[in-house]
Amino acid sequence: PSEGELRVDGLARRFARPREASDAGIAVVHQELNLIPDLTVIENISLGREPRRAGLLDRAAMREIAVRALERVGSPSDPDALVRDLPLAEQQLVEIARAMSQNARIIIFDEPTAVLPRPATLKLLDLMRQLKSEGVGIAFVSHHLDEIEAVCDVVTVLRDGQVVKEFRAPDLAPEVLAPAMVGRDLEDMYPARTDVDGKPVAMQVQGLSAPPLVQGAQFELREGEILGVAGLVGAGRTELLEAIAGLRPCSGQISLKGQAVSGNARQRLAQGIAYVPEDRKVTGLHIDLSIEENIGMAQLPKFARPMLNAGARRAATEAWKERLDIKMRSAEDPVGSLSGGNQQKVALAKWLEGDPAVLLLDEPTRGVDIGAKAEIYKVIADLAAEGRACVVASSEMPELIGLCHRILVMRQGRIVGEVTGTEMTEETILNYAAGVETGEDVA
């Protein structure tokens, strides 16, 4: 740190490298996975702390450590599997298992539940309570206020890098914490919806199938409308958006303002459909490239005729900075230096530079703080007010209910329900998602 003091067991400490903190009993579960994709689960869990026998790696001991740690976090992963072959949620559990294997006295959890399905999240919260009862100190960074209320004793709220308030149990309810985090009342979280009744149809989807995860999808989307897509994990939300965007082979018909849409993702972008993917750091952005390089990347022909027009690209970046309120020092800075919310705004700018008529947004606020969420909601609402049609796939039902005009609910690859108006409640959405409203067998 540039200033201030860190004390461990009452003693002032200054760590020059992560290993020194680890040796002092501090473990970190990183928000951005810190695993080696081409190593096995066993090798990742013991990485840097491999047990040895006669100077050689003790593979049996490594396996025992890994199996014990995986069992403790409830991971179903094969210890011998390569990390790159695991789903993202299982990779996160491996990251947590690695921290658990260190027998640390202090564990820092940085957004550990961002990619976990609900059952795994609940299991992790139970594990945190167990660790606390064993005397392990926990620092838990999260934007999910229900999780904070469930496990925390003390909450420090940061806004724009500054401590704004401290709360102690039992005063940790979301309605207490959220205004301090956002700097405004919760009633102002979601912008007012515009009226889209009678507006022209922007996109029509008929009989769209991308087996096995999308089957017979059919809906219309009006200009200026924000359409939500809900469903449990594995229901096909992401796959539906990918099929529309041209990222998955599919059958059926898609039309944009009456004109048939076809081809790959680049061709569909040229026709007016843009897709902002779920994982901005892996598929949405090139995290080590500059902000202006990322914003100009999807429209290279626009800025290179044939030589790169750096001035035009810089002007476009500055224009998006003002329009989306992207907080950055310089357009030349790596996009990875920005906060999660500002990275997401850059991802939006990257695709909006192509002036699409339809914007497909997959988990647009995943991993960003509640203040940044409110800013992104405003951006989406402003885009809709301009006449753009938006499809928002999200696992956060309050987000869909607060932002969208209508919500489609998916189950096992099919659209099984549509909710509007007063029907847009978590209970109704969950009933459709679980097959209760449709009378399906959910056993």
Per-residue model confidence as pLDDT tens digits over 109-160? 988 887 777 788 888 898 889 889 989 999 999 878 889 899 999 999 887 6
Beta strands in 128-225 (DSSP E): 137-141, 154-159, 162-168, 201-210, 214-222
pLDDT digits 0-9 by tens, 171-197: 888 878 878 877 666 567 899 999 999
- For residue 104, the tally of other CB atoms under 10 A from its CB is 19
pLDDT digits 0-9 by tens, 365-411: 987 877 888 889 999 999 999 999 999 999 888 899 999 999 999 99
Go through the domains of the chain in sequence order and give each one's CATH number. Answer: 6-141 (3.40.50.300), 201-434 (3.40.50.300)
User: Residues 214-223: what's their mean pLDDT?
Assistant: 97
Contact, 276 vs 284, CB < 8 A?
Answer: yes
- Would you mind telling me the total number of residues written for the chain in this entry? 443
| Residue 441: predicted pLDDT | 45
Contact, 345 vs 373, CB < 8 A?
Answer: no
Tell me how far apart the alpha carbons of residues 248 and 208 are, in angstroms, rounded to a whole number.
11
Contact, 161 vs 193, CB < 8 A?
Answer: no
| Residue 367: predicted pLDDT | 78
Whether a cis peptide bond, with omega within 30° of 0, leads into 364 is: no
Please give the angle made by the CA atoms of 44, 122 and 402, to the nearest 5 degrees: 115
Whether a cis peptide bond, with omega within 30° of 0, leads into 212 is: yes
Per-residue DSSP letter, 22:
H
- For residue 167, the tally of other CB atoms under 10 A from its CB is 18
Measured in whole angstroms, the distance separating CA 179 from the mean position of its chain's CA atoms is: 22
Tell me how far apart the alpha carbons of residues 285 and 424 are, in angstroms, rounded to a whole number.
33
Max CA pair span of the chain = 78
Tell me how far apart the alpha carbons of residues 179 and 183 are, in angstroms, rounded to a whole number.
5
418's CB contacts (< 8 A; 6+ apart) are 219, 406, 407, 408, 409
Average the pLDDT over each of 29-43, 387-401, 424-438 and give the range with the smallest value: 424-438
User: Residues 339-353: what's their mean pLDDT?
Assistant: 92
| Residue 241: predicted pLDDT | 97
| Residue 153: predicted pLDDT | 94
Query: What percent of the chain is predicted at pLDDT more than 70?
Result: 96
371's CB contacts (< 8 A; 6+ apart) are 159, 181, 182, 183, 341
Orientation of helix 340-352 relative to helix 370-385, angle to 10°: 20
Whether a cis peptide bond, with omega within 30° of 0, leads into 170 is: yes
Only one residue has tokens 């029907």, namely: 423
Measured in whole angstroms, the distance separating CA 61 from the mean position of its chain's CA atoms is: 35
Measured in whole angstroms, the distance separating CA 71 from the mean position of its chain's CA atoms is: 26
Please name which of 158, 150, 212 lies closest in space to residue 180, comparing C-alpha atoms: 158
Tell me how far apart the alpha carbons of residues 301 and 307 are, in angstroms, rounded to a whole number.
10
Contact, 181 vs 175, CB < 8 A?
Answer: no
pTM score: 0.71
N-term to C-term CA, the chain: 53
Contact, 63 vs 46, CB < 8 A?
Answer: no
